Chain A
Amino acid sequence: MAQEYEAFVRDRQRAVSGREVVLTLRDLTPGRHKYRGIAVRAVISETPLAGEPLLWLRSVVGARDTEPCSVRIVEELPPIFDAPPYSDYFTVLEALEKD
Chain B
Amino acid sequence: MAHKDLREFTEALAASRDLVTIDDEVDWDQELAGIGRLSCERDGPAFMFNNVKDYAGWRVLANPVTGWRRYAVALGLPADTPIRELYRIYAEREQNPIPPILVNDSACKEVIIPRDEIDLFDLPVPMVHDGDGGRYLGTWDLVVSKDRDSGWVNWGMYRFMIHDERHMTGYPRPTSHLGKMLLDGYAPKGEVMPIAIAIGTDQPSHLSSTATFRIGGDEVELAGGLGESPVELIKCETSDLYVPASAEIVVEAEIYPDKIAQEGPYGEYPGYRSGEMGNSVCARVTAITHRRDPIFTIDTTGFMDSSAVTTSISGAIAIRRRLERHGVPVSEVYIPPESGVHMAIVSVSRGGPEVARQVVEVLTARRALMSKIIVVDDDVDVFNQSAVIHAFSTKCHPDRGTHIHRYEGRANALTPAYSQEERLGKLGASVAFDATWPPDWPAETTPVRATLDSMYSQDVQDRVNARWRKLGL
Residues of chain A touching chain B, judged by Cβ–Cβ distance below 8 Å, are: 8, 10, 24, 26, 30-39, 58-64, 79-90, 92
Contact = CB atoms under 8 A, between A and B. Distances in A.
B52 to A, nearest CB: 11
Contacts of B410: none
Which one of A63, A82, A86 has the greatest number of beta carbons of chain B within 10 Å?
A86
B182 interface: yes
Contacts of A35: 127, 134-135, 162
A86 B174 contact: yes
Nearest to B179: A86
Given A10-B278, A38-B164, A79-B163, A63 B131 contact: yes
A81 B263 CA distance: 12
Interface stretch (B4-12, B279-287, B364-372, B449-457): B279-287
Interface of B: 29, 54-55, 121-122, 127, 129-135, 162-165, 167, 174, 179, 182-183, 187, 255-263, 265, 267, 273-275, 277-282, 420, 424
Contact of A81 (B29, B134, B260, B278): B260
B121 A33 contact: yes
- Main SS at interface, chain B: loop
A8 B54 contact: no
A64 B131 contact: yes
B122 A85 contact: no
B303 to A, nearest CB: 16
Contacts of B121: 32-33, 36
16 contacts: A8-B265, A26-B134, A35-B127, A37-B262, A61-B131, A79-B167, A79-B261, A80-B261, A84-B260, A85-B182, A85-B260, A86-B281, A89-B261, A89-B277, A89-B279, A89-B280
Contact of B167 (A10, A80, A89): A80
Contacts of B133: 8, 26, 62
Contacts of A81: 259-261
Given A82-B258, A87-B260, A60 B280 contact: no
